[in-house]
Amino acid sequence: MQLRFHIACVEITNLRGTIYLVDDDPDFSDAVRRLLEMAGYQVRTFSSAEQLIELRLSEEGADCILLDVRLPAITGPDLQQRLIEHNVELPIIFLSGYEDVPTTVRTIKSGAEDFLKKPITADILLSTVERAIDRHRSSQQRRQAREVLDANEAKLTPREREVFERITQGKLNKQIAHEFGSTERTIKAHRQRVMEKMQARSLAELVLMAHQIRSR
């Protein structure tokens, strides 16, 4: 068992996240599980990559994966590549009892959150897990916000899209009306529908949305 920590007796009231731990060392796995559970995480343990693959893993079941490098049959880095191929973007923290620079570089370049060498202190393990989950959740929130923005933009008619562009460029209703050969009243109606469809509560918010769309 390669983990150094002291488990304090604390009462956990809020679940901080779910972690999948994949390691074929039962003593190490049990020690890590107990530490994480005392820190408020739900933990599912697996002794091989195959067991995890059988779950048909998606991003819905877990918040983070702790993954041993040297697993039997399918190694940790091999499992990472399979998850990438299936578009599973959960943060992966690799665990290894050996100094392996090429593997470290390869897994980090492939998107691993971190690479921890055993023995691992409790503070380092917990802080790494917390940081990985926080970053993943922030990334999810940004992605969900982009999806909502894209879906709202898709609701705009071609004319509303043109009005949206000009409003967020700072043009006045009368300027847009003159450009389109329309009435100011018509432009005001288009503007109101743009605000509603984009779910914008103010012009400033609408301008920010336009900036986000243009910077993609």
Residue 150 lies in a domain: no
Residues 102 and 180 in one domain: no
Q: Report yes or no: 35 and 9 within 8 Å, Cβ to Cβ.
A: no
Asked if the peptide bond before residue 91 counts as cis, ω within 30 degrees of 0, the response is: no
Share of the chain above pLDDT 70, in %: 91
Residues 62 and 86 in one domain: yes
Whether 216 has a pLDDT exceeding 60, the answer reads: yes
Name the residue with tokens 């691993």: 112
Q: CA–CA separation, 162 vs 116, rounded Å?
A: 52
Residues 72 and 22 in one domain: yes
Asked if the peptide bond before residue 72 counts as cis, ω within 30 degrees of 0, the response is: no
Q: 7 falls in which pLDDT band (50, 70, 90)?
A: very low
Higher per-residue confidence, 168 vs 2: 168
Q: CA–CA separation, 72 vs 43, rounded Å?
A: 21
Domain of 114 in residue numbering reads as 3-142
Residues 44 and 105 in one domain: yes
Residues 169 and 135 in one domain: no
Q: CATH number, domain at 54? A: 3.40.50.2300
State which amino acid sits at residue 52.
L
Domain boundary among 91, 113, 142: 142
pLDDT score for 177? 95
Residue 149 lies in a domain: no
Whether 5 has a pLDDT exceeding 50, the answer reads: no
Query: Structural domain tally of the chain?
Result: 2
Residues 166 and 135 in one domain: no
Predicted confidence (pLDDT) per residue in 67-111, tens digit: 999 998 899 999 999 988 888 889 999 999 888 788 889 899 988
**DSSP assigned state of 206:** H
Q: 14 falls in which pLDDT band (50, 70, 90)?
A: low
Residues 137 and 173 in one domain: no
Residue 21 lies in a domain: yes
pLDDT score for 60? 59
Residues 123 and 166 in one domain: no
